[in-house]
Amino acid sequence: MKDWSELELDALAEAFNVGVGSAAAVLSRMVGSEVVLSVPELKVVDKAAALESFGVAGSDRVCAVVQPYGGAFESRALLMFTEAKSYDLVRAVVPAHMAGMQMGDMAQDALTEVGNLVLDACLTAVGDLLACALTTRVPYLVKGEAAEVMAQMEGREMMLLHMLFAIADRNIDGYVGFLLDQQAMEALKQAVARFLNAHL
Protein backbone atom coordinates (compact mmCIF):
# COMPACT_ATOMS: atom_id res chain seq x y z
CA MET A 1 0.00 0.00 0.00
CA LYS A 2 3.04 2.20 0.42
CA ASP A 3 3.21 2.66 -3.35
CA TRP A 4 -0.33 3.99 -3.66
CA SER A 5 -0.42 7.66 -4.63
CA GLU A 6 -2.49 10.16 -2.71
CA LEU A 7 -4.87 10.44 -5.67
CA GLU A 8 -5.29 6.65 -5.90
CA LEU A 9 -6.08 6.46 -2.18
CA ASP A 10 -8.52 9.34 -2.56
CA ALA A 11 -10.26 7.54 -5.44
CA LEU A 12 -10.49 4.33 -3.43
CA ALA A 13 -11.85 6.19 -0.39
CA GLU A 14 -14.47 7.85 -2.61
CA ALA A 15 -15.45 4.44 -4.03
CA PHE A 16 -15.91 3.10 -0.51
CA ASN A 17 -17.77 6.27 0.43
CA VAL A 18 -20.30 5.50 -2.30
CA GLY A 19 -20.41 1.88 -1.12
CA VAL A 20 -21.03 2.81 2.48
CA GLY A 21 -23.70 5.30 1.48
CA SER A 22 -25.46 2.60 -0.48
CA ALA A 23 -25.13 0.18 2.44
CA ALA A 24 -26.50 2.76 4.87
CA ALA A 25 -29.56 3.24 2.68
CA VAL A 26 -30.22 -0.50 2.87
CA LEU A 27 -29.79 -0.51 6.65
CA SER A 28 -31.95 2.60 7.00
CA ARG A 29 -34.82 0.83 5.27
CA MET A 30 -34.37 -2.17 7.57
CA VAL A 31 -34.44 -0.17 10.82
CA GLY A 32 -36.99 2.39 9.65
CA SER A 33 -34.93 5.42 10.59
CA GLU A 34 -31.93 7.35 9.40
CA VAL A 35 -28.50 5.87 9.85
CA VAL A 36 -26.17 8.72 10.66
CA LEU A 37 -22.83 8.16 8.96
CA SER A 38 -19.43 9.38 9.92
CA VAL A 39 -16.87 10.30 7.29
CA PRO A 40 -15.43 6.91 6.34
CA GLU A 41 -11.82 6.37 7.35
CA LEU A 42 -9.85 4.04 5.13
CA LYS A 43 -6.52 2.52 5.98
CA VAL A 44 -4.49 -0.57 5.24
CA VAL A 45 -2.79 -2.48 8.03
CA ASP A 46 -1.20 -5.84 8.56
CA LYS A 47 -3.82 -8.25 9.77
CA ALA A 48 -2.01 -8.49 13.07
CA ALA A 49 -2.54 -4.77 13.63
CA ALA A 50 -6.19 -4.79 12.61
CA LEU A 51 -7.62 -5.31 16.07
CA GLU A 52 -5.66 -2.39 17.43
CA SER A 53 -7.08 -0.26 14.61
CA PHE A 54 -10.56 -1.49 15.48
CA GLY A 55 -9.95 -0.45 19.07
CA VAL A 56 -10.79 -3.99 20.13
CA ALA A 57 -8.76 -6.07 22.59
CA GLY A 58 -7.84 -9.60 21.51
CA SER A 59 -9.86 -11.00 24.40
CA ASP A 60 -13.03 -9.01 23.58
CA ARG A 61 -16.00 -11.05 22.42
CA VAL A 62 -16.96 -10.14 18.85
CA CYS A 63 -19.37 -11.22 16.12
CA ALA A 64 -18.27 -10.98 12.51
CA VAL A 65 -20.17 -11.57 9.31
CA VAL A 66 -17.73 -12.86 6.71
CA GLN A 67 -18.66 -12.31 3.07
CA PRO A 68 -16.54 -14.20 0.54
CA TYR A 69 -16.53 -12.65 -2.93
CA GLY A 70 -14.88 -13.22 -6.26
CA GLY A 71 -14.77 -11.80 -9.76
CA ALA A 72 -12.01 -9.32 -10.51
CA PHE A 73 -10.23 -10.73 -7.48
CA GLU A 74 -10.91 -13.27 -4.76
CA SER A 75 -11.21 -12.02 -1.21
CA ARG A 76 -13.37 -11.71 1.85
CA ALA A 77 -15.15 -8.77 3.36
CA LEU A 78 -15.80 -8.65 7.04
CA LEU A 79 -18.32 -6.73 9.13
CA MET A 80 -17.37 -6.92 12.78
CA PHE A 81 -19.05 -5.72 15.95
CA THR A 82 -18.38 -6.29 19.59
CA GLU A 83 -20.85 -8.89 20.85
CA ALA A 84 -22.78 -6.33 22.90
CA LYS A 85 -23.19 -4.01 19.91
CA SER A 86 -24.21 -6.89 17.68
CA TYR A 87 -27.13 -7.50 20.07
CA ASP A 88 -28.04 -3.82 19.75
CA LEU A 89 -27.96 -4.09 15.97
CA VAL A 90 -30.16 -7.18 15.95
CA ARG A 91 -32.65 -5.49 18.29
CA ALA A 92 -32.73 -2.50 15.94
CA VAL A 93 -33.68 -4.59 12.93
CA VAL A 94 -36.00 -7.27 14.35
CA PRO A 95 -39.62 -6.79 15.46
CA ALA A 96 -40.10 -5.49 19.00
CA HIS A 97 -41.59 -8.73 20.34
CA MET A 98 -38.31 -10.49 19.55
CA ALA A 99 -36.19 -7.83 21.14
CA GLY A 100 -35.45 -9.86 24.26
CA MET A 101 -33.83 -12.71 22.42
CA GLN A 102 -30.24 -13.57 23.05
CA MET A 103 -27.74 -14.55 20.39
CA GLY A 104 -29.62 -17.70 19.44
CA ASP A 105 -30.07 -19.09 15.96
CA MET A 106 -32.70 -16.51 14.99
CA ALA A 107 -30.57 -13.59 16.10
CA GLN A 108 -27.53 -15.04 14.34
CA ASP A 109 -29.56 -15.36 11.15
CA ALA A 110 -30.69 -11.75 11.50
CA LEU A 111 -27.14 -10.52 12.01
CA THR A 112 -25.86 -12.55 9.06
CA GLU A 113 -28.62 -11.09 6.90
CA VAL A 114 -27.74 -7.55 7.95
CA GLY A 115 -24.08 -8.22 7.25
CA ASN A 116 -24.89 -9.73 3.88
CA LEU A 117 -27.00 -6.74 2.83
CA VAL A 118 -24.52 -4.16 4.06
CA LEU A 119 -21.44 -5.83 2.60
CA ASP A 120 -23.16 -6.72 -0.67
CA ALA A 121 -24.32 -3.13 -1.14
CA CYS A 122 -20.83 -1.86 -0.35
CA LEU A 123 -19.05 -4.33 -2.65
CA THR A 124 -21.52 -3.79 -5.48
CA ALA A 125 -21.07 -0.02 -5.37
CA VAL A 126 -17.28 -0.30 -5.27
CA GLY A 127 -17.30 -2.84 -8.12
CA ASP A 128 -19.62 -0.69 -10.22
CA LEU A 129 -17.59 2.46 -9.74
CA LEU A 130 -14.26 0.80 -10.44
CA ALA A 131 -15.72 -1.29 -13.28
CA CYS A 132 -14.53 -4.55 -11.75
CA ALA A 133 -17.39 -6.98 -11.23
CA LEU A 134 -17.40 -8.45 -7.74
CA THR A 135 -19.69 -11.39 -7.04
CA THR A 136 -20.68 -12.15 -3.47
CA ARG A 137 -21.04 -15.70 -2.18
CA VAL A 138 -22.79 -17.15 0.85
CA PRO A 139 -21.90 -15.22 4.02
CA TYR A 140 -21.33 -16.80 7.40
CA LEU A 141 -21.12 -15.67 10.98
CA VAL A 142 -18.15 -16.23 13.25
CA LYS A 143 -18.04 -15.29 16.91
CA GLY A 144 -15.64 -15.63 19.74
CA GLU A 145 -12.66 -13.78 21.09
CA ALA A 146 -11.44 -11.16 18.63
CA ALA A 147 -7.95 -12.64 18.33
CA GLU A 148 -9.40 -16.07 17.49
CA VAL A 149 -11.74 -14.61 14.87
CA MET A 150 -8.90 -12.74 13.18
CA ALA A 151 -6.70 -15.82 13.23
CA GLN A 152 -9.31 -17.64 11.12
CA MET A 153 -9.11 -15.05 8.35
CA GLU A 154 -6.85 -15.59 5.35
CA GLY A 155 -4.75 -12.87 3.82
CA ARG A 156 -1.91 -10.80 5.19
CA GLU A 157 -3.06 -7.25 4.71
CA MET A 158 -6.43 -5.87 5.62
CA MET A 159 -8.09 -2.81 4.26
CA LEU A 160 -10.14 -1.29 7.04
CA LEU A 161 -13.06 1.00 6.70
CA HIS A 162 -14.29 2.35 10.00
CA MET A 163 -17.90 3.33 9.75
CA LEU A 164 -20.02 4.61 12.58
CA PHE A 165 -23.69 3.71 12.59
CA ALA A 166 -25.95 5.76 14.81
CA ILE A 167 -29.39 4.18 14.71
CA ALA A 168 -32.48 5.31 16.59
CA ASP A 169 -30.63 6.87 19.50
CA ARG A 170 -28.24 3.96 19.79
CA ASN A 171 -24.58 4.26 18.97
CA ILE A 172 -23.66 1.11 17.15
CA ASP A 173 -20.07 1.04 15.99
CA GLY A 174 -19.42 -1.23 13.05
CA TYR A 175 -16.15 -2.01 11.35
CA VAL A 176 -15.80 -3.12 7.76
CA GLY A 177 -12.63 -4.88 6.68
CA PHE A 178 -11.46 -6.29 3.36
CA LEU A 179 -8.87 -9.02 3.52
CA LEU A 180 -6.55 -8.74 0.57
CA ASP A 181 -3.54 -10.77 -0.41
CA GLN A 182 -0.84 -9.28 -2.62
CA GLN A 183 -2.56 -10.41 -5.83
CA ALA A 184 -5.91 -8.95 -4.79
CA MET A 185 -4.30 -5.70 -3.68
CA GLU A 186 -2.57 -5.40 -7.06
CA ALA A 187 -5.83 -6.09 -8.92
CA LEU A 188 -7.58 -3.42 -6.86
CA LYS A 189 -4.78 -0.93 -7.55
CA GLN A 190 -5.05 -1.60 -11.28
CA ALA A 191 -8.81 -1.06 -11.14
CA VAL A 192 -8.30 2.28 -9.39
CA ALA A 193 -5.67 3.28 -11.99
CA ARG A 194 -8.09 2.44 -14.82
CA PHE A 195 -10.80 4.48 -13.10
CA LEU A 196 -8.51 7.50 -12.79
CA ASN A 197 -7.29 7.18 -16.39
CA ALA A 198 -10.86 7.05 -17.62
CA HIS A 199 -12.11 10.00 -15.61
CA LEU A 200 -9.25 12.45 -15.18
Partner 1 sequence: MKVLVVDDSRVARTIIRAVILDKHPDWSVQEAANAEDALALASREDFDIFSIDINMPGVDGFTLVEQLRARGAQGRMALFSANVQEPVRQRAASLGVAFIAKPVTPISVTALLAAVGYESP
Tell me if 25 contacts partner 1 by CB under 8 A. yes
User: Could you tell me which residues come within 8 angstroms of residue 5 by beta carbon, excluding any fewer than 6 positions away?
Assistant: none
- Residue 190 CB, shortest distance to partner 1, in Å, is 16
Q: Using alpha carbons only, what angle is made at residue 188 by residues 183 and 192, rounded to the nearest 5 degrees?
A: 150
Q: Which of 10-18, 110-118, 169-177, 181-189 is the region at the interface with partner 1 (rule: CB under 8 A)? A: 10-18
CA pair distance 180, 171, nearest whole angstrom: 29
- The CB-of-140 to partner 1 minimum distance in angstroms stands at 28
CA-CA distance, 72 to 79, in Å (whole number)? 21
1, 21, 74, 108: residue in contact with partner 1 (rule CB under 8 A):
21
Measured distance CA(72)–CA(169) in Å, rounded: 39
What gap in Å lies between CA 112 and CA 106, rounded to an integer?
Answer: 10
Rule CB under 8 A: say whether 190 interacts with partner 1.
no
Residues between 31 and 60 that touch partner 1 (CB under 8 A): 33-35, 37-40
Neighbours of 20 (CB within 10 A): 26
Answer yes or no whether residue 10 interacts with partner 1 by CB under 8 A: yes
- List residues binding partner 1 (CB under 8 A): 6-7, 10-11, 13-15, 17-22, 24-25, 28-29, 33-35, 37-40, 125, 128-129, 196, 199-200
